[in-house]
Amino acid sequence: MNNHRAEQLRAAGLRVTAPRLATLDWLAEHPHATAEQVADGVRARFETRTADHHHLVCRGCGRTEDVDHVVGAAPCVEPTTSAGFVIDEAEVVFWGYCPACRSSRHTAPRFE
């Protein structure tokens, strides 16, 4: 995916940088976003951990934590249709509320 995005940047006469690639990746999934939505969406996507892992994301404050791959029963990572795509990766994001937001919102956790 990043090779195509890198070519887009080069064709526009821009240097290929991690922030630009992250922005284009986010825009591919959210094509009708405002500048503020793009900034908020991309902010959690810069990270130093590049090995396989998943994320925990707080719906309240946006806090994002890395977690190791899921063990045991695999989550649903195969789409019902590939729409002609050759799929080479799936992304798993766990959404919920962090401890601080849970206590301030009195939100009951679904999983512990």
* Tens-place pLDDT, residues 54-96: 788 888 777 778 888 766 666 566 778 888 988 877 777 888 8
Burial group, residue 44, by CB count within 10 angstroms (0-12, 13-18, 19+)? middle
Burial group, residue 64, by CB count within 10 angstroms (0-12, 13-18, 19+)? middle
Strands 64-67 and 54-58: antiparallel
The pLDDT assigned to 65 comes to 82
Structural domains in the chain? 1-46 (no CATH), 49-112 (3.30.1490)
Q: What percent of the chain has a predicted confidence (pLDDT) above 90?
A: 2
The pLDDT assigned to 93 comes to 81
The pLDDT assigned to 76 comes to 64
Q: CB–CB of 46/62 below 8 Å?
A: no
DSSP assigned state of 8: H
Q: Which of 9-13, 33-37, 107-111 has the highest mean pLDDT?
A: 9-13
pLDDT confidence tier of residue 19, bands split at 50, 70 and 90? confident
pLDDT average, residue stretch 8-33: 82
